[in-house]
């Protein structure tokens, strides 16, 4: 039983890292039919698989059109996995998070996983999508009055938008009311400190931990 679960997670990771989109969805469905824990498939299958794809893309071993098809399959797979998890955790229900990918940036696979995982953990999520103008983050802050504002950036050229967002929240007098949490491949703990963000999340599991810390749900 446990071996089959491990095997399926390995197959999922390999189907991603070796670029076999159809197999990604097939293995995911088999995994779900067996009733195994979706979080393990995400953290031990999808995340490392996509990390390897990132490295291959960096080295020029895989190209943009292939990554686009692969990305669609991975999004479908993570949505299927996350739809099996219930969203009725009592713990954090009243805590609201607004999340989006910074203006100019269309990468949203990681942000999608993060927002769904936060939802599963009971947070009330408002997902602004990708390529979100900074003004829209501000509008959403006013409209939804979130506890946390999360932003994602996958490019060094767009991550500077996060710093601008910090300044804009400050100028609008909203910063003291809202915690900020950032993430994405070019983001580090150091960068978060540098721009004055409240938290950095390395992956979806870490994002959940950090979000709980920000709303003081991890104490006691």
Binding region for ligand B12 (CB under 6 A): 47, 50, 53-54, 57-58, 64, 67-68, 71, 99, 104-111, 113-114, 150-152, 154-157, 181-186, 201, 203-204, 207
Least separation in angstroms between residue 114's CB and ligand B12 is: 5
Cβ closer to ligand B12: 84 or 160?
160
What's the start-to-end Cα distance of the chain, in Å? 35
Least separation in angstroms between residue 192's CB and ligand B12 is: 9
Least separation in angstroms between residue 156's CB and ligand B12 is: 4
Q: What distances in angstroms separate CA 82 from CA 12, 118, 170, one per listed residue?
A: 15, 10, 35
Calpha distance 100→62 (Å, rounded): 27
Q: Strand pairing of 199-200 and 179-183?
A: parallel
Structure tokens at 37: 């824990």
Least separation in angstroms between residue 1's CB and ligand B12 is: 27
Residue among 167, 176, 106 nearest 137 (CA): 167
Cβ closer to ligand B12: 27 or 33?
27
């Amino acid at each position: 039983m446990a071996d089959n679960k491990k095997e399926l997670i390995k197959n999922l990771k390999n189907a991603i890292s070796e670029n076999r989109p159809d197999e990604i969805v097939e293995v995911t469905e088999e995994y779900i039919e067996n009733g195994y824990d979706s979080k393990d498939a995400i953290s031990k299958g999808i995340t490392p698989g996509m990390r390897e794809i990132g490295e291959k893309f960096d080295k020029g071993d895989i190209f943009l059109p292939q990554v686009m098809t692969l990305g669609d399959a991975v999004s479908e797979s993570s949505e299927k996995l996350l739809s099996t998890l219930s969203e009725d955790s009592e713990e954090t229900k009243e805590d609201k998070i607004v999340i989006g990918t910074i203006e100019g940036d269309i990468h949203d696979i990681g942000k999608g996983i993060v927002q769904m995982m936060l939802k599963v953990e009971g947070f009330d999520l408002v997902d602004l999508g990708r390529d979100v103008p900074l003004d829209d983050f501000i509008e959403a802050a006013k409209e939804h009055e979130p506890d946390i504002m999360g932003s994602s950036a996958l490019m060094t050229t767009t991550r500077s938008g996060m710093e601008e967002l910090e300044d804009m929240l400050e100028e609008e007098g909203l910063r003291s009311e809202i915690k900020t949490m950032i993430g994405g491949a070019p983001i580090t703990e150091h960068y978060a400190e540098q721009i004055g963000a409240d938290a950095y999340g390395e992956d979806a599991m870490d994002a959940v931990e950090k979000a709980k810390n920000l709303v003081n749900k991890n104490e006691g």
